[in-house]
Chains A and B, each alone.
Chain A
Amino acid sequence: MQKDNQDHYKFCLGCGAELPRHSSKPRSASVATPAGGAPSSGRTTNAPRAQAGRAEALASAPELEVEESAPVRSARVEPVAAVDPLPPELAPLHDDTAPCPHCGSRVPDNFRFCHVCGEDLHARASSDAPARADAPAERVSAPAVAQAPQPATVRARLVLIEPDGSEGPAFRLSGGRTLIGRSTGGIFANDAYLSPEHAEFRFEEDQLVVKDMESLNGIYIRIEPEVPIELFDGSIFRVGQEILRFEAPFAPEPPADGTQYMGSPHRGYLGRISLVIGRETTGNSHPIPPQGIHLGRERGDVVFPEDGYVSGLHCRINSEVGHVFLTDVGSSNGTFVRVSSESYVPQGTFVLMGQQLFRAEY
């Protein structure tokens, strides 16, 4: 089964396998409305979305514009290197390739993901969990229909990360739906920043999915360093203790008599980031000039000198072809993006809920 994935999707619509990302390359400006529904006006992230019934609904949906050069392929494509559709600039160079451990295609060394099957090579390479190294084809394996049915016991664990960085107790997730919140007790009972019903975890095929149950404070997922995540109007992210909101440029309509609004000169701001200090309230704001900005505790255009959880240089926001991206630049504590409604939780991802940080293991 092959699905048409748009180039901003991080995961295949049909099977949930990770798609190749074009993080270092400008994305198509022609991406119109995401097929899975426009980003909600409230809070949005580019964290991968899990759309209910997405496969069936989208299989018949009219095809939107697809970037011609984007090597977006379904993860279900059989590993046949001969039909490699890569554009010349991305084509494998001589011997700077390595076989994909999943499908065997020759993948350039600088690729983070296999361009044929979408295998996350970085996660595999950086994984220090021996269990995963021993089971190379665990995540994006054969089609789900061919899988042996798994017993509905523990399929995943949320490992609590203590403030000192050590691992605390783990919360087990079954293959079904698991609701988490202050009312579900256990390690969540005493977290005043969790809503009584905060989040729901479930599996879609072999991917863990988290859904925000309209919680007050939301669910944040740590983004990978140097992988740009697109920001939309209202996207919320967290850096250290700071909650920041991206606001797309908004200018009032000038009067009909031809007078323009006077103001400070600017050459096309991308939007601005605002510090969230209340439900409807923001504090300091900073516009983002066309060349982008860096955020950090000591370095950057916007600094948080009093937040010890922010790295010296933490993340950047910049624009590529009219889209605005947030990129963690290797911060110690990470940059977290608030889940807009649902998101895949890739293996090993850090998830922030209430005051607690977890690592998803499955």
Chain B
Amino acid sequence: MEQARNYVCTECASAVPSGHKFCGACGAGVPADAQTLKTLFFGALQMPGKARLIVIRGDEAMGEGLSYLLQATEHIAGREADQIPFPSDTWLSPAHANFLYRGEKLVVRDQGSLNGVYIRIRGTAPVQIGDHFMCGQQLFRVDATPKDTSGPEADQTHFYSSPRRPSAFRITQVLEGGMDGIVCCAREQSVEIGREDCDINFPDDVHMSPRHARVEMSGETLELVDEMSQNGTYVRIRGERELSHGDYLFLGRNLLRVEVTA
């Protein structure tokens, strides 16, 4: 007893070789899916991707330790994404970020998300006015010093202002829900953030290092400096950013590690 080695015609039970559109014996049509036989990948395991994302710290629904192989050319991550879904993270836009290959390089692109994509800085990173960054559980924005509006009136009445000091820039804490929290105007040329003894302190943020990061004016440009913090300092990317092995990304509440294998 042997199994038939070909597709068997449903009309006359003759063997029909692969690729034939009609049965050679009776002329009956062969269904489309039987005409061409191809092997599909069994899950993602058959072909190692060029890179993968590992969820280091995720929302409860998705669990931690999950990894996503990036083997297509584009991979959308988001609250309603098919490829890399984080359905319970309300800080993610429906389509939040796109992990795509450009040549041999893996790139992450912010898909116009509300809250952005944050990448862990290695040492020092340049920042501009309006940039956002994260330390511990805290989110900050780099703001310009507003124009001085304390000059005298036309009638020579002087404005009584609180004592002021020159300040090159300011750091604004952004609270969950979008409200601004702490504002700290730079004294001298820098603002330091940490758990204690800094310019902005978060004694009850357990993910903050004692001295975590600082923003400083270096010549004409601003720099974000991670002070060897335990959990890192993350800056929001503008547009897209090339990724390399060992990069860490925050997408909403999810911390992801990038592993490039190829």
- Cα A354 to Cα B173 with chains together (Å): 34
- Check if A281 sits within 8 Å of B150, measured CB to CB: yes
- Minimum C-beta distance from A40 to chain B (A): 20
Is B146's CB within 8 Å of the partner chain A? yes
Q: Which residues of A contact B160 (CB under 8 A)?
A: 193, 216-217, 243, 354-355
Is A280's CB within 8 Å of the partner chain B? yes
Selected from B91, B157, B178, the residue in CB contact (under 8 A) with A196 is B157
Is B182's CB within 8 Å of the partner chain A? yes
- Given contacts A279-B150, A283-B185, A285-B180, whether A261 and B162 have CB atoms under 8 Å apart is no
- Cα A272 to Cα B173 with chains together (Å): 12
- Check if A264 sits within 8 Å of B93, measured CB to CB: no
Nearest A residue to B149, CB-CB? A278
- Minimum C-beta distance from B171 to chain A (A): 10
Stretch at the interface among A125-133, A140-148, A172-180, A245-253: A245-253
User: What mask results when residues 270 to 298 of chain A are scored 1 for a CB within 8 Å of chain B, else 0?
Assistant: 00101111111111111100000000000
- Cα A274 to Cα B184 with chains together (Å): 10
Is B138's CB within 8 Å of the partner chain A? yes
Selected from A194, A259, A279, A306, the residue in CB contact (under 8 A) with B90 is A259
- Check if A283 sits within 8 Å of B174, measured CB to CB: no
- Cα A193 to Cα B153 with chains together (Å): 10
Is A67's CB within 8 Å of the partner chain B? no
Q: Which residues of A contact B180 (CB under 8 A)?
A: 272, 285
A interface secondary structure, majority: loop
Nearest B residue to A217, CB-CB? B160
- Greatest chain A CB density within 10 A among B139, B159, B182, B185 is at B159
- Cα A172 to Cα B176 with chains together (Å): 54
Nearest B residue to A258, CB-CB? B90
- Minimum C-beta distance from A253 to chain B (A): 9
- Given contacts A262-B252, A264-B139, whether A217 and B163 have CB atoms under 8 Å apart is no
Nearest A residue to B172, CB-CB? A285
- Check if B184 sits within 8 Å of A284, measured CB to CB: yes
- Check if B178 sits within 8 Å of A261, measured CB to CB: yes
Q: Which residues of B contact A252 (CB under 8 A)?
A: 178-179
Q: Which residues of B contact A272 (CB under 8 A)?
A: 180-181
- Given contacts A182-B157, A257-B94, A258-B79, whether A243 and B162 have CB atoms under 8 Å apart is yes
- Minimum C-beta distance from A80 to chain B (A): 49
Q: Which residues of B contact A194 (CB under 8 A)?
A: 157
- Given contacts A257-B93, A258-B90, A283-B183, whether A278 and B161 have CB atoms under 8 Å apart is yes
- Cα A269 to Cα B176 with chains together (Å): 11
Nearest B residue to A239, CB-CB? B162
- Minimum C-beta distance from B94 to chain A (A): 6
Nearest B residue to A196, CB-CB? B155
Q: Which residues of B contact A275 (CB under 8 A)?
A: 162
- Check if B157 sits within 8 Å of A260, measured CB to CB: no
- Minimum C-beta distance from A209 to chain B (A): 23
Q: Which residues of B contact A42 (CB under 8 A)?
A: none
- Check if A307 sits within 8 Å of B177, measured CB to CB: no
- Check if A242 sits within 8 Å of B149, measured CB to CB: no
Selected from B146, B152, B161, B178, the residue in CB contact (under 8 A) with A254 is B178
Is A53's CB within 8 Å of the partner chain B? no
User: What mask results when residues 5 to 30 of chain A are scored 1 for a CB within 8 Å of chain B, else 0?
Assistant: 00000000000000000000000000
- Minimum C-beta distance from B137 to chain A (A): 6
- Minimum C-beta distance from B146 to chain A (A): 5
Is B147's CB within 8 Å of the partner chain A? yes
- Minimum C-beta distance from A114 to chain B (A): 38
Q: Which residues of B contact A286 (CB under 8 A)?
A: 182
- Cα A359 to Cα B137 with chains together (Å): 49
- Check if A255 sits within 8 Å of B175, measured CB to CB: no
- Check if A264 sits within 8 Å of B174, measured CB to CB: yes
- Cα A275 to Cα B174 with chains together (Å): 18
- Check if B150 sits within 8 Å of A277, measured CB to CB: yes
Is B164's CB within 8 Å of the partner chain A? yes
Q: Which residues of B contact A284 (CB under 8 A)?
A: 182-185
Is B38's CB within 8 Å of the partner chain A? no
Is B115's CB within 8 Å of the partner chain A? yes
Closest 9 CB pairs of A and B: A278-B149, A261-B178, A285-B183, A262-B115, A263-B176, A262-B91, A278-B150, A217-B160, A251-B177
19 A-B pairs in the complex with CB atoms less than 8 angstroms apart: A192-B152, A196-B157, A216-B157, A217-B160, A254-B178, A259-B115, A260-B177, A263-B175, A263-B177, A263-B181, A266-B175, A275-B162, A276-B161, A277-B164, A281-B149, A282-B183, A284-B184, A286-B182, A287-B181
Tell me the B residues contacting A by CB distance below 8 Å: 79, 90-94, 113-115, 137-139, 146-150, 152-153, 155-164, 167, 170, 172-185, 252
- Beyond the given A244-B162, A257-B94, A282-B183, could you list 16 further A-B residue pairs with CB under 8 A, ordered by the A residue number? A193-B158, A194-B157, A216-B157, A241-B162, A251-B179, A258-B94, A262-B91, A263-B174, A263-B175, A269-B181, A276-B161, A281-B150, A283-B185, A286-B182, A287-B173, A307-B163
